[in-house]
Structure 1
């Protein structure tokens, strides 16, 4: 089965510093794939490169058979690759409704947009309760829900998530991961970057471990959870 997204030889540099050093990875349709590793290992840079938000020094990104390596960020979104940024990046001085509507700004199918809004409310009932309130008044967990909901309004084929558990209470983290499993069960392909290694691998079909800009380990989520090297490095074992 051909991968939905195939990354080959990806390199990203910040000046003279090589942040990502020629990595290869594949994402398969209908799966959750996670990229885990220590802070500063190159996880977020990898996502930013896939979204076209930082330039690639080398390498190719092929999405559904099409080379999207050099496309502008808005063109990548139009192909169906949508990112939820680290830190959520919601528009705090706008309402919850306005944030969600912005997620659908490239769409012209009003009926489909309305149906997707209802779907977001099913996933995140709290957003419906706070629909006309300012997004900046939401709790951290609610803001993360809004960021995911806004991304879903673009009707992505591939959802990229950068550290969705960051700064959230454990009970909220559990809820966020439950919702990610649910939207994956509904058919959405997910690429998850996380420092919460155990939680990420528990829900992942496949995982990659990145160290200092290179892929150190790869395997199924279950295989990696049982890998002694990963356990010793990241899980306190």
Structure 2
């Protein structure tokens, strides 16, 4: 599923995030290995999306350090983090509904220019044929699942080296969720490193080489995706076992 060499791409050490006086994330450590899918799972409100937003520079860190390929990126602003090749697919998709599908995809390549992103556009339209059929149509006319495909496609247009995905299955029908996760597996198959924040614990851990379980802002468990899928605590708390 991956050509991983188990080399650390992103290292997070002692990350603390506060909202006012509330500790949202409490001193967590984790590592993303190059070429792998890593999943951060847990219940709603556990601190998963907050963690991801903080890594993208969108939520301030109270303490902690973030290293990307050995470089300290903790103080960088969001656009500087994107310039390093770290791109986020936001929760809720955040597509521009009054623009066409092609215009939304073009926005993903704004830093590079569309001419240099021709091969990425070809790849996105191959990955999501439904977008190809409706390129000149308004993004607002897409279904929820198609909008999620567009959000992922827009991020791929930036030619990321590390892709963050915040709740990509949220609000989607089960058959569409399967389709999205098949696409994520295919994207990882090209060698792209994925960090997946997801409430759908079963789907996330099925495609992840490594997983972390976040509970009330603290790391509760870690292991391979397969180990966590069979862990009694995960089965009981998240998988109805």
TM-score, reference length from structure 1: 0.98
Cα distance between partner residues in 1 of 2:154 and 2:117: 11
Cα distance between partner residues in 1 of 2:184 and 2:112: 23
Match for residue 84 of structure 2 among 79, 93, 97: 79
Partner residue, 1:201: 205
Partner residue, 2:3: none
Aligned residue pairs total 236
Partner residue, 1:184: 188
Partner residue, 1:219: 223
Partner residue, 2:168: 164
Q: Deviations over 1:11-47 (max 9, x none)?
A: 1111001100010000000000000000000000000
Cα distance between partner residues in 1 of 2:32 and 2:179: 24
> Over aligned residues, Cα RMSD in angstroms?
0.9
1:88 aligned counterpart, secondary structure: coil
Deviation >4 Å, runs of 4+: none
1:128 Cα deviation from its structure 2 partner: 1.0
Match for residue 17 of structure 1 among 10, 13, 22: 22
Match for residue 104 of structure 1 among 100, 109, 119: 109
1:230 Cα deviation from its structure 2 partner: 1.0
Partner residue, 1:69: 74
Cα distance between partner residues in 2 of 1:218 and 1:137: 40
* Structure 1 residue runs without a partner (length 5+): none
Cα distance between partner residues in 1 of 2:174 and 2:93: 17
1:153 Cα deviation from its structure 2 partner: 0.2
1:109 Cα deviation from its structure 2 partner: 7.1
TM-score, reference length from structure 2: 0.96
Cα distance between partner residues in 1 of 2:168 and 2:233: 25
Partner residue, 1:50: 55
